[in-house]
Chain A
Amino acid sequence: MGIDPADKKLPQPEDLDPMTDEVLHRAFAGESQAAEKYLVFAEQAEEEGFPNIGRLFRAISFAETRHARNHLRVMRGIDSTAGNLLVAFEGESFEIDEMYPAYRQIARTQKNHQAVRSTSYAMKAEVDHKSMYADARERALAGRDIDDLPVSVCLICGHTVIGDVPDKCPVCAAAKEQYRTFT
């Protein structure tokens, strides 16, 4: 059974003064990064043969996602799905057009090859995401869901594909076994 979004215990959107808005943005950034770190730390613990510590990191990561969501709600960061798809589309566009080209250029200048790889992987996947969000937004604006198809993600580079998984990842050449499928 899910949580009712109108649940009074959930912090509600409110009008914020600029400083409170700023600190909540920072708190959202902090919680988001903690959640991601703990997921990676969970994988590391599992590789070391500590499955119970892996579970602890996963559970606390989930707790941090609840805090991130609460802060985002209060800041009015959650809109209708059509609105959310626009925000997502614009975020991907910024990363593709501005952020990653600049970051990758710095990494190239400083000859940091692994950083070039990490930024290139991300930038290429964001191109997939941008077009998927654009298509989905058109549907959502017409009041329709997108087609009922699996979505698969390369667990090395994040390459994202709707429908069949390729034999190997076109971005990083990982085998199809290295995809995670959302059904």
Chain B
Amino acid sequence: MNNLQLEKQHSAYLKRLRKEKYEITGWQLFILLAFLTLWETAGRFNWIDPLLFSYPSKISSLFVAKLSDGSLALHTSVTLLETIAGFILGTALGTLFAAALWWSRKASRISDPYLVVLNSMPKVALGPIIIVALGPGYLAIITMGASISIIITTLVIYHAFHTVEPNYVKVIQSFGGNKKHTFLEVILPASFPAIISTLKVNVGLSWVGVIVGEFLVSKQGLGYMIIYGFQVFNFTLVLLSLFMIAVFSSLMYLGVEWLERKLIKN
């Protein structure tokens, strides 16, 4: 086959790929529009209880109203900051604990049963204690956001550290590298994929921790908006909060994916 024919085949292949991509995006948009239309129609014609399930146009007009009085931006930013802080704290401390356990095999064996117990315990149940201990404010809510992800992060990342190909470690040792070299040159970079996937899980977990924390104490935030909407029976407000959570947790997830591309080059 000559070059021209090869090129033709290649461009046809690229065209097929593009077509497939458009088709998938088309379906995704169609499902979204169909869902919104159905919801709107069902709400307006009272097929579903609009008091409970509301409908898109009602939610969007509330969105505009809350946006213009500034309260939505305030609640959202409060929750977002708490979540990001809890997310970073939980992941960083979890990774740090995992590193400590990797460093000392004895420490890891001693702590093993405690980690299992802590992991199986529902961390949100600690909420009341955390709130009383740290005071009903940002600190308690961030702690809840972090506590929910910290143990599972420790366990998953420690496991990743521990299953790094031993021959990579041997290469470092054969050059006279010490434990610190081994950790920084091999263990940590080899575990980046595992760390990234725990980050993806932790995005969801820290939102849970923070929202529950806000349920319990706060005067501000999306969790507060949900509880308030529930108490005054304004489910449009609840759904608006849910919408904001969906948007920002997806953005955080995209942020993690961006980090993944930065960290994992090969």
A binds B: no
Give B residues with C-beta under 8 Å from A: none
Give A residues with C-beta under 8 Å from B: none
